[in-house]
Structure 1
Amino acid sequence: MTKPVMILGLLLLFFTLLVKAEEPLVAPKPTEPLKQIDFKDPIPFGLPPVEYGLGEHSDPASRLEQALAARTLKLNYDAQWGYLRDVLKALQIPESSQLMVFSKTALNPRIINPENPRVVYFNDDVYVGWVPGAKKMEFASVDPLKGTIFYELAVKASKEPHLVRSERCLACHGGDSSLRIPGLLVRSFLTDRHGRPISGYSQISHDKPLEKRWGGWYVTGTHADMTHLGNLFNRDAIEAAKTNPALRANLKHIDQFFDTAKYLNPHSDLVAHLILDHQVHGHNLITRASMEQQLGLRSDVEQQLVRYLLFLDEAELTGPLHGTTDYQAWFEKSGKRDASGRSLKDFDLQTKLFRYRLSYLIYTDSFNKMPSAARHRILQNVYSFLTASLAELEQSWDVDPDAFPVQERQAILQIVSETLEDLPEFWTVSK
């Protein structure tokens, strides 16, 4: 047995044994009722039928590796960028999604710092990490049933480059902050001048107020009077920001901090940040709901997912907010549209992230290929909210009816009815 396989086996065994000692480590049969657990309980994702790390995968990075192995795709090596540009093109990830993080909270901490930040590129299903001077690129790719799959690609010229599964990532990407499943992380940590974390938050989502986000990240874009923790490093600057919260805010350029010529572009777009913050936690909730159904378990994750998909606890924005690249235009163009031209990817960026508050994540494979029973329940609850009376919104959902007007809910109903495949029969729209 090879060393990587042994390490993966030990990791899977470790996470499997995290379930309560008195519970049998056997996945229930399909006919057995779902077993109630707490949302904070670990998920034994090494067990059948999930069997994380084993079997076939259908996530974007796995498909990329399959194409490389079959020699139906070739990656060209560049002396400056390695395989970066070709990888982004193959995975259909825009260069404008580039986000820069300088906190030492990921792989390659020895070379990541405010003068040499790590960059992350992403689309709806896959994330790519790259650092100038690193020996490997990193991939986090969402498989519909097995969660986030991690890969690495050596940054050196090769006739046959290949993505290699990474087992070490689960040490961080399988804990509390990723909901105890193989998931994704977005953190916000203020750092010293070397990028070493000082204080912050281990889990960021669209529910977190902006003033707590983006510690350890560069941010380019304007956000009116709103504040955030981006662009701040060094204890002196952090201390100065306490009396001047607008310090290093509303920046359109960050080349005063480091040499941006080392990167594909000199931006870390604010709008892309907002999408990453929403998307990562959403993916983790979907994966957790899917795995619980597969393993015959049930917590309140589905209720949390429904509220999250509907942005019911979203932190208020006080825009206008603007990025510094064409990322916003790319993102909106990629959305599915109804006959009236409306899309769940239409931005608001004034008081909320989106004009129509139901997450575009309902179009992803991770949502649509989850066990049908779980998908059906989630869509049923979303539909119940969208068709609820004003009294029901207030009493059953703890939502101010004025904050989610009926016109918006009706628009969402129509958009979904025209754009979502395999729509349940109960999803009807009043004429």
Structure 2
Amino acid sequence: MTTPASKSPTQRSSFLRLSLAILASSILTIHAEDEYENAPIRYSDTTPNDAAQQLESLMAAGKVKIDRTDAWTVLRDVMKQFDIPQESQVMVFSKTSKQNDRISPQTPRVVYFGDNAYVGYCLGGSIEVATIDPKLGPIFYLLDPYEVPAKPLHFQRDNSCLSCHGGPFTPEVPGVIVRSVYPGPEGHPIMSQGSTVVDTTTPFTDRWGGWYVTGRHGSVLHRGNVTATEKNDQTIDIDFKAGANITDLAKFFDVTPYKRKQSDIVALMVLEHQTSVQNILTKANHAALRAMHMQTSLQRELGEAIMSEPTGTARRIIDHAAEDVVEALLFKDEAALPEGGIEGDPAFQTAFTKRAPQSSDGRSLKDFQLLHRLFKYRCSYMVYSLTFQHLTAPLKQTILTRLWNILDGKDTSGHFDYLTTTERGHIRRILAETLPGVPAEWKKALAAK
């Protein structure tokens, strides 16, 4: 019997290429169900390293106290620990959550977010939490704010959320999503009309079905603030105009139980961008980790030297994943804002930009534009996220090299011609001066200009 170790070098090389080709097909088409449950990810079997676990340890040690007067104080204090501003509040009334029995157009769920954590709350219900593990992706928990004070607060990991947050919507990795549906009068999605997972490229007119939206946006309509009625022929009646340019939600439901009364249009667009980029980062990192795991396994099986750099098919997998990340970071195919732009709650914009890293000339990747597009500088602030900062080394290096070549004018593909020379220069400076672990040659190149 011939074993891999007894093959000739040529045979072993051919075997390695064939095996990696099979790996590439698996990773790029992602046909295997719940691939993230297998090595090297092992999502459900791995103890997370995320903000929820860290907070629970701090509470157990008596180093953090949470005000448990009521659910709102628990929510407030947990959000503070996760660096989530209260001004990020948005409201969703479609029944597309773990606690659908508590959600309706009259009792919307509130959602809040920071750069690396998300929380949701339904009146009288549990607090839903998603915090980011740098390798695994989002980890989903339920937190009971009504637990008796004699018992400690506990983040209960809830993998049942993966039925929506770990499949086609997210794309086959644990993910966070914003969906736009056609909600019926009670908030149930009208399934015959489908749904849209919203990202940076989604047209304005397809957003926010099942969400409340406060803010101005001119004459272009969106799907928010209204419900639909399905007719016998499976068409629907819905008045989008009734939901346009809303600044006061009191006309739709009793806002009294809610601490904040807004579901800000700018916050919604930031949330949609952030969740879509987070998912792309998670997907790319998982693909790269699997590629390197398989390469290492095969090299060990064949008795060959273990290489830390990707070769052959593993290299192609990582290049493909990196390109997806670069396109997302640089807002490729970003949907245009309505003519005249959008106007949202200044309080959210202040909170969102409060501690944004700034270049020496005062520019930030979190600076808003809001006239033609969401941000002034089209490179996502998600480069500062936990996931990006902890990307597997070959993937991160590939992304950074590709990113710099585009910003430095060395890319000839034409795919990023929408970025002007001036805008590229501003982004280069912001990244070179603020991005942790930035390559030294970036700073040298900036000084030489």
The yes-or-no answer on 1:314 pairing with 2:334 is yes
The yes-or-no answer on 1:359 pairing with 2:380 is yes
Q: Deviations over 1:232-267 (max 9, x none)?
A: 11429x7353xxx53321111111111111112110
Q: What is the match of residue 167 of structure 2?
A: 175
Determine the C-alpha separation between the residues in 1 that align with 2:381 and 2:435.
10
The yes-or-no answer on 1:381 pairing with 2:402 is yes
The yes-or-no answer on 1:398 pairing with 2:401 is no
The amino acid of 1:351's aligned partner reads H
Q: 1:350 to 1:40 in 2, by over 3 A?
A: farther
Deviation at 1:200, TM superposition (A): 4.2
Deviation at 1:179, TM superposition (A): 1.0
The amino acid of 1:225's aligned partner reads S
- Whichever of the two has the greater Rg, that structure is 2
Q: What is the match of residue 295 of structure 1?
A: 290
Q: What is the match of residue 117 of structure 2?
A: 126
Aligned 8 A contact 1:68 1:162 in 2 = no
Q: Deviations over 1:91-110 (max 9, x none)?
A: 12111111100001111111
Deviation at 1:290, TM superposition (A): 0.9
Report SS of the residue matched to 2:242: coil
Q: 1:423 to 1:79 in 2, by over 3 A?
A: closer
Q: What is the match of residue 11 of structure 2?
A: none
Q: Which of 321, 345, 370 pairs up with 2:366?
A: 345
Determine the C-alpha separation between the residues in 2 that align with 1:289 and 1:304.
8
Determine the C-alpha separation between the residues in 1 that align with 2:145 and 2:428.
46
Deviation at 1:71, TM superposition (A): 2.5
The amino acid of 1:194's aligned partner reads E
The two structures, once aligned, show a CA RMSD in angstroms of 2.1
The yes-or-no answer on 1:146 pairing with 2:140 is no
Aligned 8 A contact 2:85 2:352 in 1 = no
Q: Deviations over 1:37-68 (max 9, x none)?
A: 32544462223332213344322222212212
Q: What is the match of residue 436 of structure 2?
A: 421
The yes-or-no answer on 1:305 pairing with 2:325 is yes
The amino acid of 2:415's aligned partner reads D
Deviation at 1:90, TM superposition (A): 1.7
Report SS of the residue matched to 1:45: helix
Q: What is the match of residue 227 of structure 1?
A: 221
Aligned residue pair count: 391
The amino acid of 1:305's aligned partner reads V
Q: Higher helix proportion, which one?
A: 2
Aligned 8 A contact 1:187 1:214 in 2 = yes
Q: What is the match of residue 192 of structure 1?
A: 184
List structure 1 segments (4+ residues) > 3 angstroms apart after TM superposition: 32-35, 39-43
User: TM-score by structure 2 length?
Assistant: 0.82
Q: Which of 65, 89, 98 pairs up with 1:74?
A: 65
The amino acid of 1:314's aligned partner reads E
Determine the C-alpha separation between the residues in 2 that align with 1:41 and 1:303.
21
Determine the C-alpha separation between the residues in 1 that align with 2:322 and 2:434.
23
Q: What is the match of residue 409 of structure 1?
A: 424
Q: What is the match of residue 271 of structure 1?
A: 266
Q: What is the match of residue 109 of structure 1?
A: 100
